[in-house]
Structure 1
Amino acid sequence: MSIDVNNESGWEVDEQAVLDVARFALDQMRIHPLSELSVIFVDAPAMEQLHIQWMDEPGPTDVLSFPMDELRPGKEGEEPPQGLLGDIVLCPEVAERQGKDAGHSMDDELHLLTVHGVLHLLGYDHAEPEEEREMFGLQKEILQAWRSQRARA
């Protein structure tokens, strides 16, 4: 799995952990091992510009996903397609604030947001209640499995 991580935010982040959780999530979703993903950390002004440009909403947001080849999760027993997943853009400043509000660290919030971004790239959404239950349930399941694996290592 080719995952490029680029920190343009000016914030110190655990890039390796974000890379690890992204790789774990993609493995769990049975994405072809030769697929490509880009994760970019940006500051709040850059995220606000992207948020306005792509979502027509003011203010910085926590995560944006830009799918490329519209890959979907692989099915058991089938060879998954290979391709470009796309870009996940994360804002550590917003993640820090949200983490504090939720009672956990910025790093924990970035891990959650990375999985959230991966799921968006794979076609998951949370606009409707049923979609939200599915996406957030899967997000929780992936994060718990990753944390459990990490604790054993």
Structure 2
Amino acid sequence: MSIEVNNETDVEVDEAEFAALARYVLDSLHVHPQTELAILFAEPDVMAELHVRWMDEPGPTDVLSFPMDELRPGQPGDVTPAGLLGDIVVCPQVAIEQAAVARHSAVEEMLLLTTHGILHLLGYDHAEPEEEKEMFALQRTLLLTFLAGR
């Protein structure tokens, strides 16, 4: 699995931990081991520019996902085809603010956002209540089992 993590911010990020999380999530969802994923940590001005350009919404947001090959989760014994999953962009400064409100660490918030972004790349959404329930439950399970194993 090719997981590239780049931090273009002043916030310290353990790139290996985020690569391990991504690998765990993709393995858990039976995504082909030769799938490619990029995770970028960006400053608020860069995130605001992306947010306006791609979502037509002002200001920085916490995470954006840019799917490439529209891969979907596989099943046990039946993984997805190999391909380019896409890119995730996380804004640590927004995550730090959200973490304070949620009363957990900034790292936990960024891990949550990364998991959330990967699920979006795999076709999950939360526009409808049932979709939100499914996506957020899966996101919680994946993150908690990853954190429990580290």
Matched, 1:114 2:119: no
1:24 CA drift (Å): 0.6
1:77 CA drift (Å): 2.8
Structure 1 Cα separation of the partners of residues 22 and 98 of structure 2: 20
- Correspondence list, 1:41-56, <5 A: 41-56=41-56
Q: Which amino acid aligns with 1:80?
A: T
Structure 2 Cα separation of the partners of residues 72 and 15 of structure 1: 25
> 1:133 maps to what in 2?
133
> 1:58 maps to what in 2?
58
1:15 CA drift (Å): 1.4
> 1:102 maps to what in 2?
102
Structure 2 Cα separation of the partners of residues 85 and 20 of structure 1: 16
Say how many residue pairs are matched: 150
TM-score, length-scaled by structure 1 = 0.95
> 1:15 maps to what in 2?
15
1:28 CA drift (Å): 0.6
> 1:83 maps to what in 2?
83
1:10 CA drift (Å): 2.2
Structure 2 Cα separation of the partners of residues 3 and 79 of structure 1: 17
Structure 1 Cα separation of the partners of residues 62 and 116 of structure 2: 10
5+ long unaligned stretches in structure 2: none
Structure 2 Cα separation of the partners of residues 46 and 118 of structure 1: 20
Q: Give the 3-state SS of the residue equivalent to 1:58 in structure 2.
A: coil
> 1:29 maps to what in 2?
29
Structure 2 Cα separation of the partners of residues 136 and 121 of structure 1: 14
RMSD after superposition: 0.8
1:118 CA drift (Å): 0.4
> 2:92 maps to what in 1?
92
TM-score, length-scaled by structure 2 = 0.97
